Chain A
């Protein structure tokens, strides 16, 4: 009796397991026996994610030999944690997207494999198909570790109707580009006169990312960049540092921009057409168009003299595999080349395609307002190279902690500078935690 019961149960369990397996295999599209699956991890959600999915579908439709299967993970620290863990566990995907500013921190731990230039060249991808800033940001220790899909700079969106009424558009109908702080603030006040609230939307409160983006844009407009030498001490121009903080304080004075602007509030404000200008990333462009804002876009004016545009890139990387399958690697190269060549679609999401043949094409010139800031690609500045910098890193959050109260209160600029120096020097003295022993293990 007991025996039969067990049998019946095991039969049931077996049946369930089989059904489960069938259900699981039902998740993957039916494929021919020759098709290999390429695992592709990326962090593009929302509108970006939909655009990327469309690009992947097109590649999949054009090639029978492989099938790209994307895994979408949330942007930010957890994404990089998962990528590092997958690599450490020997289960790395075949291809992944990273912010190129994060790549230098990953290379010394042996988490990434370099790209083969010859193989890329055969597919029409080489140094000459990228601008210098983009290419340089992809090279670590003389090897190419990332292939940039785009540059997504921090720019100024403006409401063409409000700005026209305020008389701050030039004869081409584009926003004027004042080249000193006084003129810029004056222009914002003109806009505020029209809106009756603020001239500019800029969300920064409690948000290190947003503070760093504008700060580093303006710092680099002084004609220099910071250098973070591992084991050494930070090279930073104190005068430029404090001048930028002081300017940022004047910006959020309650007339030009809100002294309590958060990123959400700034987006809401500009979308509701209650301000005329918005300092933000290019990724906010499509939602603003959808909200019906008559939106133009331009590089942040050269307020401190030089043109400089803070940016990061979504870049393709090869997570380290101990024993990569040659055919799969070749297919991966093909996928990347195809995605680059079709990145005009990606430009629709606001990003500047990194692949020059795309931006030099006339299709791109017709894309407005994207074409208005296309030249930003020549003036891009990325995060200072160090293991701890980059998009979504603790470093930018901590930067916000250090300078936040100076920006809101309008005092303590020198103290913020000292604290920044101390903080960065302390990090420079620590080994890269991705590789505590210093060498490639």
Chain B
């Protein structure tokens, strides 16, 4: 601080504003320039620790990852020589990478849609003024409070093909039992079911809050004009929920694209062609197969895909805003 001050006064050939004393010898308050400089320094002091961590743990790995993706670096410390774009060309022609990306995208579709619709229906039902509001809210939201490890364990047992509850229910209504987590294509749907049960409560809460913010006035006016319940739903409620739906969609897509925990835990570390999400493939390539270079290359391919989705989403949202 002193250095900066000194530097400044030395640099300025004729500093017009100098800190001084008034006629009675009291120190005057610092001038505006000093105050803002001081404020900046304070701001940097507060930002500093975060910036250091951010540079060290986000920016540096990001840059180092690009470098790694151009080498044949092994987790064991061996390798590390420059191989150019070899990892990228291998990844782009790797059917497992594409099927893993396909799985993640499919999972995003089959979770996002029900997670929006179910949450909306649940919120609408609760908002009709059912008795025991707190019980509904609690039971819909409670699964969200559980850790992913816990819900995985619960659902692994529910889905157990021989002694699980899911098959008990199926056989009670006369349907052939299914090996939920062990059958190709069904496995990802099973993980999606568990995920929906787990996280729908959060969206439900967002919708419920938004519903309770719609002024009663609008419904009263609509009722006076002769609009029925359905008409009110489609002309008032759903349009009013537009912004919150946008938020939920963005949050949900990002959460679903990150799929790893519950898939890894429910498949108990194993993986199948039809359920392995891309994040797990990156993990397998790097930490199980020891190929850091290759795993980094896949990460950046996935990064670019997410970037495209993100930009697309931004453009769509902006257009919608522009239109309304």
The answer to whether the Cβ of A144 comes within 8 Å of any Cβ in the partner chain is: no
Q: In the complex, are the beta carbons of A88 and B75 less than 8 A apart?
A: yes
Give the distance in Å from the alpha carbon of A260 to the alpha carbon of B287 in the complex: 31
Contact for B272 among A258, A268, A401, CB less than 8 A: A401
Give the distance in Å from the alpha carbon of A55 to the alpha carbon of B184 in the complex: 45
Q: In the complex, are the beta carbons of B161 and A260 less than 8 A apart?
A: yes
CB distance from A93 to the nearest CB of B (A): 15
Q: In the complex, are the beta carbons of A85 and B78 less than 8 A apart?
A: no
Binds A, one of B174-182, B207-215, B302-310: B174-182
Count A interface residues, CB 8 Å: 37
Q: In the complex, are the beta carbons of A265 and B163 less than 8 A apart?
A: yes
The answer to whether the Cβ of A153 comes within 8 Å of any Cβ in the partner chain is: no
Contacts of A260 in B (CB 8 A): 161-162, 177, 179, 182
Q: In the complex, are the beta carbons of A205 and B78 less than 8 A apart?
A: no
The answer to whether the Cβ of A294 comes within 8 Å of any Cβ in the partner chain is: no
The answer to whether the Cβ of B289 comes within 8 Å of any Cβ in the partner chain is: yes
Q: In the complex, are the beta carbons of B76 and A84 less than 8 A apart?
A: yes
Q: In the complex, are the beta carbons of A435 and B160 less than 8 A apart?
A: no
CB proximity to B under 8 Å, residues A107-152: 109-111
The answer to whether the Cβ of A53 comes within 8 Å of any Cβ in the partner chain is: no
Q: In the complex, are the beta carbons of A261 and B162 less than 8 A apart?
A: yes
Contact for A433 among B160, B162, B290, CB less than 8 A: B290
Q: In the complex, are the beta carbons of A88 and B77 less than 8 A apart?
A: yes
Q: In the complex, are the beta carbons of A436 and B288 less than 8 A apart?
A: no
Q: In the complex, are the beta carbons of B269 and A76 less than 8 A apart?
A: yes
* Interface core residue of B72, B75, B78 (most chain A CB under 10 Å): B78
Contacts of B148 in A (CB 8 A): none
Contact for A435 among B76, B161, B287, CB less than 8 A: B76
Chain B, residues 46-78, CB within 8 Å of chain A (1/0): the string is 000000000000000000000000001011111
Give the distance in Å from the alpha carbon of A247 to the alpha carbon of B285 in the complex: 34
Q: In the complex, are the beta carbons of B270 and A206 less than 8 A apart?
A: yes
Give the distance in Å from the alpha carbon of A401 to the alpha carbon of B161 in the complex: 17
Q: In the complex, are the beta carbons of A206 and B181 less than 8 A apart?
A: yes
Q: In the complex, are the beta carbons of A394 and B76 less than 8 A apart?
A: no
Contacts of B289 in A (CB 8 A): 394, 433
Give the distance in Å from the alpha carbon of A397 to the alpha carbon of B270 in the complex: 6
The answer to whether the Cβ of A37 comes within 8 Å of any Cβ in the partner chain is: no
Give the distance in Å from the alpha carbon of A383 to the alpha carbon of B64 in the complex: 37
The answer to whether the Cβ of B284 comes within 8 Å of any Cβ in the partner chain is: yes
Q: In the complex, are the beta carbons of A262 and B182 less than 8 A apart?
A: yes
CB contact under 8 A between A436 and B162, given known A81-B287, A397-B270 = no
Q: In the complex, are the beta carbons of B162 and A434 less than 8 A apart?
A: no
CB distance from B68 to the nearest CB of A (A): 13
Q: In the complex, are the beta carbons of A400 and B76 less than 8 A apart?
A: no
The answer to whether the Cβ of B206 comes within 8 Å of any Cβ in the partner chain is: no
CB distance from B277 to the nearest CB of A (A): 15
The answer to whether the Cβ of B267 comes within 8 Å of any Cβ in the partner chain is: yes
Chain A, residues 426-441, CB within 8 Å of chain B (1/0): the string is 0000000111110001
Q: Chain A residue with minimal CB distance to B290?
A: A433
CB distance from B129 to the nearest CB of A (A): 44
Q: In the complex, are the beta carbons of A434 and B290 less than 8 A apart?
A: yes
CB distance from B260 to the nearest CB of A (A): 14
Give the distance in Å from the alpha carbon of A109 to the alpha carbon of B76 in the complex: 7
Q: In the complex, are the beta carbons of B288 and A205 less than 8 A apart?
A: no
Give the distance in Å from the alpha carbon of A258 to the alpha carbon of B78 in the complex: 46
Q: Chain A residue with minimal CB distance to B77?
A: A88
Chain A, residues 374-401, CB within 8 Å of chain B (1/0): the string is 0000000000000000000010010011
The answer to whether the Cβ of B168 comes within 8 Å of any Cβ in the partner chain is: no
Chain A, residues 83-100, CB within 8 Å of chain B (1/0): the string is 011011100000000000
The answer to whether the Cβ of B20 comes within 8 Å of any Cβ in the partner chain is: no
The answer to whether the Cβ of B79 comes within 8 Å of any Cβ in the partner chain is: yes
Q: In the complex, are the beta carbons of A77 and B287 less than 8 A apart?
A: yes
Give the distance in Å from the alpha carbon of A394 to the alpha carbon of B270 in the complex: 8
Q: In the complex, are the beta carbons of A265 and B162 less than 8 A apart?
A: yes
CB contact under 8 A between A404 and B162, given known A76-B269, A433-B290, A435-B78 = no
Q: In the complex, are the beta carbons of A109 and B273 less than 8 A apart?
A: no
CB distance from A86 to the nearest CB of B (A): 10
* Interface core residue of A88, A258, A262 (most chain B CB under 10 Å): A262
Q: Chain B residue with minimal CB distance to A108?
A: B78
Q: In the complex, are the beta carbons of B269 and A264 less than 8 A apart?
A: no
Contacts of A269 in B (CB 8 A): 162
CB distance from B233 to the nearest CB of A (A): 44
The answer to whether the Cβ of A208 comes within 8 Å of any Cβ in the partner chain is: yes
The answer to whether the Cβ of B9 comes within 8 Å of any Cβ in the partner chain is: no
CB distance from B79 to the nearest CB of A (A): 4
Q: Chain B residue with minimal CB distance to A207?
A: B270
Give the distance in Å from the alpha carbon of A401 to the alpha carbon of B274 in the complex: 10
CB contact under 8 A between A206 and B267, given known A261-B162, A262-B160, A262-B161 = yes
CB distance from A406 to the nearest CB of B (A): 13
CB distance from B83 to the nearest CB of A (A): 9
CB proximity to B under 8 Å, residues A268-290: 268-269
CB contact under 8 A between A84 and B290, given known A435-B79, A436-B72 = yes
Q: In the complex, are the beta carbons of A436 and B78 less than 8 A apart?
A: yes
Q: In the complex, are the beta carbons of B78 and A206 less than 8 A apart?
A: no
Q: In the complex, are the beta carbons of B287 and A205 less than 8 A apart?
A: no
Contacts of A342 in B (CB 8 A): none
CB distance from B93 to the nearest CB of A (A): 13
CB contact under 8 A between A77 and B270, given known A87-B77, A206-B182 = no
Q: A206-B272, A262-B182, A437-B72 are in contact. List 4 more A-B contacts (CB 8 A).
A: A88-B78, A206-B179, A206-B267, A260-B182
Binding site for A on B (CB under 8 A): 72, 74-79, 81, 160-163, 177, 179, 181-182, 184, 187, 267-273, 284, 287-291
Binding site for B on A (CB under 8 A): 76-78, 81, 84-85, 87-89, 109-111, 205-208, 258, 260-262, 264-265, 268-269, 394, 397, 400-401, 404-405, 408, 433-437, 441
What are 21 A-to-B residue pairs whose CB atoms are below 8 Å?
A77-B269, A78-B287, A81-B75, A81-B287, A84-B75, A109-B74, A109-B76, A109-B77, A205-B182, A206-B179, A206-B267, A206-B272, A207-B270, A208-B270, A261-B162, A265-B161, A434-B74, A434-B78, A435-B74, A435-B79, A436-B79
